[in-house]
Structure 1
Amino acid sequence: MIQLICAVADLTRALLLQLAADDRGALGTVASTVDVVGTRDTVVGHVATPADVVTATRRAVERPWTPPSIVAGLGNRQSALAAR
């Protein structure tokens, strides 16, 4: 798991400066709580499909102003906000 986190951080560092310099673009990281926890016992409600995630991401990126974070699904957004 630590290697995966480092890989995401390294990739972000490699791309972020160019995205900022161009003043456009987006960097997406997709993660699954089920994959991290290792069980579906923690699932509450609808599980977003890969298509759901791609659709939410494309909608956000196609806006005139792309939000700093995108979370697919109402339940997932509520969980993300509650964790803050």
Structure 2
Amino acid sequence: MPISCQAHDYVEIVCMRASKVHLLLHSGAQVMGIAEDITRVGGIECLQVKTQAGAVNVDLTRIKTLEARDNLVSAHNFIVQLSSE
């Protein structure tokens, strides 16, 4: 099931700002790094995150919460639930 348009807008915002993000996935795994781009990998829409280990692509539908944090502009820090699965 795709994420809502509103949730997608938040993903676009963190990419435009190259925000520091913390993702909590439905599996319980966490991904932290800099939001770089929205990409398609094998037909799946993903958030590309630059981590300390390199770039990773995270399926948008697997993200439970997206938190933009530790960014210099405090207004650029927020947390949003992308999906409720």
Give the TM-score of the pair, scaled to structure 1.
0.31
Higher relative strand content? 2
Indicate the structure whose relative CO is greater, using CA pairs within 8 Å and at least 6 residues apart.
2
Q: Which has the larger radius of gyration?
A: 1
Give the TM-score of the pair, scaled to structure 2.
0.31
